[in-house]
Amino acid sequence: MQDENTKVKILSAAQEILAKDGLDAVSFGAVARRIGHSKQAVLYWYPNKHALLNAMFLPWLSAEADAAEAAVSEATKNDDAIATFVRAVAVFHLKDLNRFRMMYLLPQTIGGKSKSGPKVVPGDSVHQITNRLYSALANRLSGEAGAARKKAVAIHSAVLGLVLLFGLAEAVEDPIKHTETDLIDALIGSLTAVGA
């Protein structure tokens, strides 16, 4: 059971279950059945649900940063950097709303404000990845570095708000009158000279 491949299979199975059936379906029993091992085998690698969620969260956050970095890598103007960043991050999340919920909603609801309760993710790891995410855009914006960083954080927050709206609409089965593309374009327009 001490095979690193099993650890990878567990994560892959948990992610597949999440994508197909949602968060409530992710359990040690469901993961064990999916990979053909006992529940105890899953618990060997991930002793509690928090450990499993952590293992899923950090690679996803890193993948989001990768998408942002790739999107802005060729941008030479503020508006181009903003537009490509917004579009890339929005598309990254809109293609998998369950993953988005795990990344940005679940950490807020697990453990509450308890100092002794389990944390969803270790802070330093998150900081390193979010620093990379925000720097991808901030480094392409003109002006003072501190102001560019604040703007990058605000733009990322706006994108997350847009994705949250689509996630909520899906969850309550109340479709939005506008397409994803239309609202992404509107957000880009509101953040760039295009919308001025």
**How do residues 57-83 score in pLDDT, each as one tens digit?**
888 999 999 999 999 999 999 999 999
Q: 94-115: b or e for each residue (b if 16 or more CB lie within 10 Å)?
A: beebbbbbbbbeebeeeeeeee
Cα–Cα distance, 130 to 118 (Å, whole number) = 21
Extents of the domains making up the chain: 1-47, 56-195
So what's the pLDDT on residue 138?
97
Which is higher by pLDDT, 99 or 2? 99
Which CATH code for domain 56-195?
1.10.357.10
Cα–Cα distance, 57 to 74 (Å, whole number) = 28
Look at residue 1 and tell me whether its pLDDT is greater than 50. Answer: no
Kindly report the CATH class assigned to 1-47. Answer: mainly alpha
**How do residues 20-59 score in pLDDT, each as one tens digit?**
887 778 899 999 999 999 999 899 999 988 788 888 888 8
Cα–Cα distance, 57 to 132 (Å, whole number) = 16
Look at residue 2 and tell me whether its pLDDT is greater than 80. Answer: no
Cα–Cα distance, 129 to 135 (Å, whole number) = 10
Chain center to CA of 103: 4
